[in-house]
Structure 1
Amino acid sequence: MSTDSLSSAPPAPVLEFDAVDFVRSSRPILREVSFTVRAGEHWALIGPNGAGKSTILSICGATAHPTRGTATVLGHRLGTVDLRALKHSIGHVNPRHPLSSPLTVFEVVLTGETGSNDLVPRWSPEPAVLARAEELITALGLRPIRDAVWPNLSQGERGRALIARALLPDPEILLLDEPTTGLDVAARERFLRTVDDLHHTHPDLATVLVTHHLEELPVSTTHAMLIGDGRLLAAGDAADVLTTENVSAAFDYPIEISRHDGRWQARAV
């Protein structure tokens, strides 16, 4: 194979869904969902409440398995791989992170190495892990609040801390589950700028961001999928998917879609 053909090859898939169904308590949640996410792509997963977004994200994060069909994460088919090893390569940012302990920002970031909510008793991080945590704290603008405790942080500060936590093990996939929930406009814009910066500093990192508000999409979004009633209505380049016709169909309501300076806007008509 020539060097030219190697350089033109598409990036490797990191997520592949093939005719995925998911059934809970005899109720179908997902029906025949198929898509592929490749390294370096930044996907938006959009749809109304109850459409199946959270279930798709759970399968992407290897915390749920398809009822039928196949889901392949980082080249491993779910059901045939040690999930503990796989999850170390998947970062997850959840603004509802269940933490009640008064951990500092630095300690919260360190829990990304163990995948736990609290510090693991008698666990001593390696020097490389400590250095990586300090590096991420600086990169995400958390240095002034490094020693602040979790209960005293704003939602925006928590969001940036959770990104640092998710990035600590150097994952190949980053899942963002409605990350701007609870943020005011200024905090939301700062957070989205952080995500855009992240896409520049980690060019091979694939991301999937769940939302039902198009205004919450970073400028760096490259791809999108629309979910409605458990079915994939459209998936591909963001500009081709996020159209007035497609979004109106997904939400079963007339919605006009526009884009200015790389940011999306939705307006009822």
Structure 2
Amino acid sequence: MLELKDVDFVRDGKLLLGGVSLTVGEGERWALLGPNGAGKSTLLNLCGAITHPTRGTVEILGRRLGTVDIRELRESIGHVNPRHPLRSPLNILDVVLTGLTGTIERMPRWEPTSAQRARALKLIELLGISALSAAPWTTLSQGERGRALIARALISDPRLLLLDEPSTGLDVAAREQLLETLDQIHASHPYLTWVLVTHHLEELPTCTTHAALLRDGRVLSAGPAEEVLTTARISETFNHPIQIHHTTGRWTATAHRHALPGGVGRAGVE
């Protein structure tokens, strides 16, 4: 579904990603974690065909960037950005339908088919916001907007879903509702591949299968989540002693009490 080989990305003379290689298989649900400035969103933009690598190759859904029609490729990718720039009072139904046209506002003179409208309503129900389908965007909470944007991303039936810090601005209750929703999406779309960017392990749904840790534009570790999200590796990634716990499918992080010189925790714990 995704294959990056020896990717560098340079902007304004600054190396934002260096030597990144990553392979994501069908149905895998990846988390990208790392400190601010690690290159997570830059990497996600490459996966979404929003930017091209400076060096190296990026293949998305079997097609290489630079040799494919980007607009056609993006039709198979759902991208969820909590900073969605909509400013007008579109209702949730219309917001979801804009996912079919790839626009922020409803296209003039464009009308959805009855099947498209029915699919939008079905996704709104799946996301638990049916009671708000007629509510204007400007009155929605951040959590309600987040679920509407996930429905918008799913309406085109993408093969790849990209979520850029979907828990941004959510309180604890709204975050937990969002994570439950992501687990429900996995249950209803078991073959959907996704990549989720976050700073916090507490924001990972239980269905997460794989993880990649980034620091200073480089991938420090990537693979099955249980092997990557460990005390030693997280402590190295964030350059701080952090104790990792994994219970009932969820990860939590706390300060490590037994720090070693150099700012990382004792290896081998968890």
TM-score bracket, shorter-length normalisation: over 0.9
Residue in structure 2 matched with residue 18 of structure 1 by the alignment? 5
Q: 2:169 aligns with which of 177, 182, 186?
A: 182
Q: Does 1:113 align with 2:100?
A: yes
Q: 2:239 aligns with which of 252, 257, 260?
A: 252
Residue in structure 2 matched with residue 103 of structure 1 by the alignment? 90
Residue in structure 1 matched with residue 138 of structure 2 by the alignment? 151
Residue in structure 1 matched with residue 28 of structure 2 by the alignment? 41
Distance, in Å, in 2 between the alignment partners of 1:203 and 1:267 is: 32
Correspondence list, 1:63-212, <5 A: 63-212=50-199
Three-state SS of the structure 1 residue aligned to 2:244 is strand
Letter of the 2:13 counterpart:
S
Residue in structure 1 matched with residue 268 of structure 2 by the alignment? none
Distance, in Å, in 1 between the alignment partners of 2:109 and 2:68 is: 28
Q: Does 1:59 align with 2:46?
A: yes
Distance, in Å, in 1 between the alignment partners of 2:12 and 2:170 is: 34
Q: 2:218 aligns with which of 209, 231, 248?
A: 231
Return the offset for 1:162.
Answer: 0.5
Task: Spell out structure 1 runs of 4+ moving beyond 4 A.
Answer: none
Q: TM-score, normalised by structure 2?
A: 0.94
Distance, in Å, in 2 between the alignment partners of 1:25 and 1:236 is: 31
Distance, in Å, in 1 between the alignment partners of 2:207 and 2:110 is: 37
Return the offset for 1:127.
Answer: 2.2
Residue in structure 2 matched with residue 10 of structure 1 by the alignment? none
Distance, in Å, in 1 between the alignment partners of 2:128 and 2:242 is: 36
Q: Which runs of 5+ in 1 are unaligned?
A: 1-13
Give CA deviations for 1:157-193 in whole Å, capped at 9, x if unaligned. 1111001000000000111110011111011000000
Give CA deviations for 1:44-92 in whole Å, capped at 9, x if unaligned. 0000000000100000000000100000000100010001011010001
Residue in structure 2 matched with residue 243 of structure 1 by the alignment? 230
Distance, in Å, in 1 between the alignment partners of 2:243 and 2:54 is: 36
Distance, in Å, in 2 between the alignment partners of 1:131 and 1:74 is: 27
Letter of the 2:99 counterpart:
G
Return the offset for 1:125.
Answer: 1.4
Letter of the 2:104 counterpart:
N
Distance, in Å, in 2 between the alignment partners of 1:57 and 1:71 is: 12
Letter of the 1:245 counterpart:
A
Three-state SS of the structure 1 residue aligned to 2:16 is strand
Return the offset for 1:126.
Answer: 2.1
Distance, in Å, in 2 between the alignment partners of 1:134 and 1:260 is: 35
Q: Percent identity?
A: 61
Distance, in Å, in 2 between the alignment partners of 1:84 and 1:227 is: 28
Residues paired across the two proteins, number:
256
